[in-house]
């Protein structure tokens, strides 16, 4: 056993010697804790006490799905674990997710009922508990409006699931399943197993539909409060500790962290979620600042703090990275800080597959570093957890509480009447009423969680103004409890085409802030110091390096050519960023913050560029298609890169709108939209390959000369080769020739014949020579069929090149029967050829997904059944009577252009298989057609991916899981190959 830090004594009578070497936290007398649920089960109360006491002595290591997914074992059974296999012990914390309930993650199954999936989750929770582990449950809930995944941010879903919302009943049904799972999680003696429940996490970001951009902080708070009250008060869940983890990157800023905090009455664990792929000092400093901040908050509020989710960005597999000594760097930074080290646990994500996993396994560069992390005395694993569930712990009584559930703080009420709902707890109220100004509204108790009443709002008050709504609780004639919210009345301001905002429609700061989401720490306010209203953002960089705000927008801007706004800069020297999300790409422009003189600044769309971090779209430019699909407008201020900018400041903006402006001049005066090869010529220019002539023309009909095409291909290939031969290859291309290097490169690369003594540099390029050049540049691929044109005889030296160029669509024949062998190629024509060459589909080589030479390659049964490997084959035992699904995480997730999965059958008792693929951001399950009965050994059984629906086929760029069905019996497979 590792040497462990001495655990903190709970009473003066416990000696350090009695505790040496183990993580034992016994209680000699009942202590008292304050929990969200004063009626929590004894084991749940004990767990809270244990987690609080372990803080500072060590940190519990946790792993999501540690016994339901793995790369070092097959046939997940709730006991096998990658962590156990590489460290010798199980994690101290076992993580699960509500995706299991709907069969989207193991041990759940898409083919099982919800009840069966709940039972499977409870079985794994019970096994984890028996191994000494502490269980946590995160929640990735589907988009209840659209039916998409948790990543689908459309549909205004956060507001739709709140009390009174159109999808509140769907949320309730989901919470019912969570409650059923909580009740079914019991140990061998029938006691409820404690679970740290972490719903609605990472809401400070906007990648989930409950994120910051999709509701006000007040609405998020009510979503969390409602979740707790529904589970605790209506469903009777008593074995949950409730965790709040809004994300990370707060720079130690308490106000920013607590922006969406539901309140002490609803939270037991203060969490932080952070990923990184650098291990840089900047990341470590920010992490320590945030963990220290939440530790201080936990101490002050009687909570537990934890690093609720962490890991290497993208995992440590082939889809991620392996920053050097990452695990030990993170651990050393945490334990070296007295505040950050007071984190109860740190939990990393799941080992889904070879591409994305978060605990290193044999073959991973970070394995030894992770093992060093595990061997550190400061990290605790399951074998080190003692006494977490058997302490005698009491809870403080629940305190009187009132909060307004709807309308939430900063919410907008667009129509009348609306319903006021208020939770009143732990007090025998004689009267509950609301006030709006001088108006009193009596509330009545209902059968559910609330006192409620309709609020009739005069039409004249639905004017985008803000009202204060207060609820009062009267006991024995005294006003004992009060809660109030600010509510914006009236529909959202509407704007004309292209207008982002003119700020005239907002009555006050609350109305303004209801429309915008803040990124980072800043203060947004309505500036009324000028002749018209404007938006003001006050910021500082004490704990951050950038901050900003934004709003969702929509519309067709393709008829506009520029964006203008009025800006009052602050003279800070920092960097202002305008960001327009169009066509799914974040384009940016940069107004100056030099000086303080206000004025209108204009940015033509031709000058906007993708955000610097979006390297995949670095060469992209805004198109009309992009402007037809705008979705977000943001403004940021970044700290100056050189550190010379002011540490704080204020910017004011107004009248943000897209305008017709002036139609931008054509890139080339003789290449207008709609002209032949227009897009290809502009592409050639945007790639920096051809800037045309000095007079601003491109001359698209001018013949492409052989010397010009050599220079163009040299640039296109980013060639750096320099000729060293003493004599030129061609007599008519001397060393002083302008295209000498490019033509010599053609010869050196074998792209042109060198058997002739001349190159004819000024001669025009013909179509057959163009085909030959591009064919050789592509590596001389074999065409699918021979040439079939009357002007291309079978003996033609460029026949294969012509056949290839036409079948790939790079060069279009001049007619149905003729290729146009000797026809001269114009500059515009060759721009089209090269553009189509560049964008041709890349030939896809077969990929071996599994050859079973060194194990089962992650294959396992989905439900009942067995798998084993031997001699480079996989043996599947499918259970009677119906057989079952067997699946794996593919080593290649992008199946774009793939048409088949094949495998060899070494022996079988007979089956008719089909594939089920989990694809896309919505994690959709799609099935192929069946292959037909296989009764005997067969090579290359074909599963046809082209039988997927069009919607499924369009998502093959993101294949997450692969399942194959097998009838009951025994089947031996080999060489699963993707074609």
> In degrees to the nearest 10, what's the CA dihedral of 772, 774, 775, 777?
120
Contact call for residues 115 and 121 (beta carbons, < 8 A): no
- Looking at 142, 219, 229, 309, which residue is catalytic? 309
- Between CA 193 and CA 127 the distance in angstroms is 11
With residue 371 as reference, give the H or E element that holds it: helix 367-375
Helices 168-184/114-130 angle, 10° precision: 40
Task: Let me know if 309 is a catalytic residue.
Answer: yes
Pairing state of beta strands 847-850 and 969-978?
antiparallel
Inter-residue contact 572 to 646 (CB < 8 Å):
yes
Cβ atoms within 10 A of the Cβ of 132, count?
19
CB 790 within 8 A of CB 817: yes
Report residue 448 as tokens. Answer: 């559910």
Residues contacting residue 161 through CB under 8 Å, at least 6 positions apart? 144, 167, 168, 170, 171, 223
Tokens of 323: 């920053």
Q: Which of 57, 61, 97 is nearest to 81 (CA)?
A: 61
Closest of 946, 882, 859, 964 to residue 70, by C-alpha:
859
Q: Is the peptide bond before 407 cis (omega within 30 degrees of 0)?
A: yes
Beta bridge partners, 395, equal 33
Q: In whole angstroms, give the CA distance from residue 961 to residue 372.
A: 32
Contact 685, 677 (CB under 8 A): no
**CA–CA dist 491, 507 (Å, integer):** 12
Going by C-beta distance under 8 Å and a sequence separation of 6 or more, which residues neighbour residue 799? 786, 787, 792, 793
Burial of residue 797, with CB atoms counted within 10 A of its CB: 0-12 exposed, 13-18 middle, 19 or more buried: exposed
Omega before 900 within 30 of 0, i.e. cis: no
Question: Using CB atoms within 10 A of its CB, is residue 965 exposed (0-12), middle (13-18) or buried (19+)?
Answer: buried
Query: How far, in Å, are 293, 306, 661 from residue 273 at the CA level?
Result: 14, 9, 45
The runs of H, that is alpha helices, within 31-73 are 42-54
Greatest C-alpha distance within the chain? 111
- Residues 6 or more apart in contact with residue 368 via CB below 8 angstroms: none
Q: Is 202 a catalytic residue?
A: yes
Which tokens go with 543?
């704990």
Report the Cα 280 to chain-centroid distance in Å: 22
On the CB side of 215, CA atoms within 13 Å amount to 31
| Alpha carbon separation from 637 to 551, 588, 644 (Å, rounded) | 16, 12, 14
- Residue 312: both structure tokens together: 């290497």
Choose among 197, 198, 215, 218: nearest CA to 206: 215
- How is residue 193 written in tokens? 């197993």
Indicate the helix (H) or strand (E) that contains 867: strand 866-870
The catalytic position among 202, 219, 704, 744 is 202
- Helices 367-375 & 326-335, crossing angle to 10 degrees? 30
The per-residue b/e assignment along 460-492, b for 16 or more CB within 10 angstroms, e otherwise, is eebebbbbebebbbeeeeeeebebebbbbbbee
Distance between CA 942 and CA 902 in Å, rounded? 5
Q: The tokens 């999965």 sit on which residue?
A: 901
| Tokens describing residue 256 | 């920013």
Q: Which residue numbers are catalytic? A: 202, 309
């Amino acid at each position: 056993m590792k040497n462990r830090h001495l655990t903190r004594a709970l009473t003066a009578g416990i000696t350090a010697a009695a505790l040496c070497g183990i993580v034992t936290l016994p209680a000699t007398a009942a202590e008292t804790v304050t929990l969200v649920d004063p009626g929590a089960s004894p084991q749940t109360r004990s767990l809270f006490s244990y987690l609080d006491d372990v803080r500072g002595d060590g940190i519990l290591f946790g792993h999501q799905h540690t016994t339901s997914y793995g790369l070092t074992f097959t046939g997940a059974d709730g006991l096998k674990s990658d962590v156990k296999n590489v460290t010798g012990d199980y994690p101290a914390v076992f993580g699960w997710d509500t995706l299991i309930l709907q069969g989207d993650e193991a041990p759940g199954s898409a083919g099982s009922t919800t009840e069966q999936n709940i039972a499977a989750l409870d079985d794994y929770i019970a096994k984890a508990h028996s191994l000494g582990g502490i269980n946590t449950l995160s929640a990735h809930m589907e988009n209840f409006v659209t039916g998409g995944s948790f990543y689908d941010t459309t549909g205004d879903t956060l507001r739709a699931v709140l009390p009174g919302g159109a999808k509140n009943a769907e949320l309730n049904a989901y919470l019912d399943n969570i409650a059923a799972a909580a009740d079914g999680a019991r140990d061998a003696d029938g006691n409820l197993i404690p679970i740290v429940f972490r719903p609605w996490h990472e809401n400070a970001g906007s990648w989930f539909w409950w994120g910051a951009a999709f509701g006000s902080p007040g609405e998020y708070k009510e979503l969390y409060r409602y979740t707790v009250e529904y589970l605790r008060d209506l469903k009777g869940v008593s074995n949950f500790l409730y965790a709040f983890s809004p994300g990370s990157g707060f720079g130690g800023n308490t106000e920013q962290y607590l922006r969406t905090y539901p309140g002490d009455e609803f939270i037991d664990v203060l969490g932080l979620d952070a990923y990184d792929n650098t291990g840089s000092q900047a990341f470590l400093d920010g992490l320590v600042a945030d963990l220290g901040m939440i530790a201080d908050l936990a101490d002050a509020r009687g909570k537990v703090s934890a690093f609720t989710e962490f890991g290497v960005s993208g995992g440590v597999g082939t889809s991620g990275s392996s920053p050097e000594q990452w695990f030990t760097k993170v651990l050393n930074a945490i334990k070296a800080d007295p505040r950050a080290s007071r984190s109860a646990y740190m939990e990393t994500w799941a080992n889904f597959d070879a591409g994305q996993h978060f605990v290193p396994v044999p073959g991973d560069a970070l394995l030894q570093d992770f093992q060093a992390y595990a061997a550190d005395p400061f990290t605790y694993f399951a074998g080190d957890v003692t006494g977490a569930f058997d302490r005698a712990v009491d809870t403080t009584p629940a305190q009187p509480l009132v909060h307004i559930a709807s309308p939430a703080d900063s919410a907008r009420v667009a129509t009348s009447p609306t319903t006021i709902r208020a939770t009143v707890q732990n007090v025998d109220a004689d009267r509950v009423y609301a006030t709006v100004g001088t108006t009193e509204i009596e509330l009545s108790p209902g059968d559910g969680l609330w006192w409620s009443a309709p609020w009739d709002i005069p039409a004249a008050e639905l004017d985008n103004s803000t009202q204060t709504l207060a609820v009062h609780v009267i006991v024995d004639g005294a006003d004992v409890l009060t809660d109030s919210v600010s509510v914006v009345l009236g529909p959202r301001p509407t704007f004309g085409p292209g207008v982002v905002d003119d700020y005239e429609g907002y009555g006050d700061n609350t109305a303004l802030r209801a429309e915008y989401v803040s990124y980072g720490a800043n203060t947004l306010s309505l500036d009324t110091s000028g002749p018209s209203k404007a938006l003001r953002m006050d910021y500082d960089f004490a704990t951050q390096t950038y901050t900003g705000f934004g709003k969702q927008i929509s519309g067709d801007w393709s008829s506009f050519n520029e964006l203008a706004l009025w800006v009052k800069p602050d003279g800070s020297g920092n960097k202002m960023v305008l960001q327009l999300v169009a066509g799914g790409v974040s384009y940016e422009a940069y107004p100056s913050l030099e000086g303080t003189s206000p004025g209108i600044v204009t940015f033509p769309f031709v000058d906007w560029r993708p955000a610097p971090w979006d390297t995949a779209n670095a060469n992209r430019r805004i198109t009309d298609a992009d402007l037809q699909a705008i979705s977000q407008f943001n403004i940021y201020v970044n700290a100056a890169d050189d550190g010379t900018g002011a540490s704080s400041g204020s910017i004011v903006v107004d009248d943000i709108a897209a305008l017709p402006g002036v139609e931008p001049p054509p890139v080339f005066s003789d290449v207008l939209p709609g002209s032949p090869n227009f897009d290809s010529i502009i592409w050639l220019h945007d790639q920096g390959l051809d800037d045309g002539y000095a007079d601003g023309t491109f001359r698209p009909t001018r013949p492409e000369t052989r010397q010009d095409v050599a220079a163009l291909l040299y640039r296109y290939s980013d060639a750096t080769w320099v000729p060293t031969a003493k004599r030129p290859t061609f007599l008519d291309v001397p060393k002083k020739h302008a295209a000498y290097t490019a033509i010599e490169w053609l010869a050196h690369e074998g792209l042109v014949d060198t058997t002739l003594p001349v190159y004819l540099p000024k001669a025009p390029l013909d179509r057959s020579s163009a085909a030959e050049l591009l064919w050789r540049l592509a590596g001389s691929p074999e065409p699918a069929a021979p040439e079939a044109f009357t002007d291309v005889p079978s003996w033609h030296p460029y026949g294969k090149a012509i056949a290839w160029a036409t079948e790939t669509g790079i060069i279009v024949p001049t007619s149905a029967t003729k290729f146009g062998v000797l026809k001269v190629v114009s500059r515009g024509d060759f721009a089209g050829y090269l553009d189509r060459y560049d964008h041709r589909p890349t030939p896809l080589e077969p990929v071996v997904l599994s050859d079973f030479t060194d194990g089962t390659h992650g294959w396992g049964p989905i439900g009942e059944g067995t798998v084993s490997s031997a001699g480079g084959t996989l043996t599947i035992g499918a259970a009677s009577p119906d057989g079952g699904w067997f699946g794996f995480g593919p080593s290649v997730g992008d199946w774009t252009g793939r048409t088949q999965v094949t495998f060899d059958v070494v022996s079988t008792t007979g089956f008719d298989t089909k594939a089920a693929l989990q694809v896309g951001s919505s994690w959709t399950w799609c099935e192929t057609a069946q292959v037909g009965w296989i009764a005997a050994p067969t090579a290359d059984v074909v599963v046809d991916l082209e039988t997927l629906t069009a919607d499924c086929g369009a998502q093959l760029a993101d294949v997450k899981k692969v399942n194959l069905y097998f009838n009951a019996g025994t089947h031996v497979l080999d060489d699963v190959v993707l074609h």
